[in-house]
Amino acid sequence: QVQLVESGGGLVQPGGSLRLSCLASGSIFRIRINAMGWYRQAPGKQRELVADITSGGTTNYANSVKGRFTISRDNAKNTVYLQMHSVKPEDLAVYYCNLRGVVAGEPGYEYGFWGQGTQVTVSS
């Protein structure tokens, strides 16, 4: 199996910065990774995509975070990051790491793996 562990969440003031990390471990060697990304779920709202990055390095951002957040990847460390700048109160949410990929022996199905989530609180 694959485990995703997020870290870096916490309290940040409006306008401040925070960096989230997601470490993938387990049977990751069996996975052909298509993309890794970050989702978030604010209180009372549905989970939404924040940003993702494909195996080829293409990035995608929600309109609400464009210009403020940056997603990056360190393949050697099996880690993906979300650098958050100029945070707003509406960024308050639980942030979840996601990995999409194909498992060896199951080439016709794309799996999705999720981390446990890390809380980001924006407050002055």
Q: What is the mean pLDDT of each run of 10 residues along the chain (124 residues)?
A: 95 98 91 95 97 96 98 92 98 97 91 97 96
* pLDDT computed for residue 94 by the predictor: 98
pLDDT of residue 107: 86
| The predicted structure's pLDDT at residue 28 | 83
| Per-residue pLDDT, 76 | 85
The DSSP secondary-structure symbol of 77 reads G
DSSP 2-69: EEEEEE--EEE-TT--EEEEEEEEESGGGEEEEEEEEEEE-TTS--EEEEEEETT--EEE-TTTTTTE
What is the SS3 assignment for 91? Answer: helix
At residue 97, the pLDDT reads 98
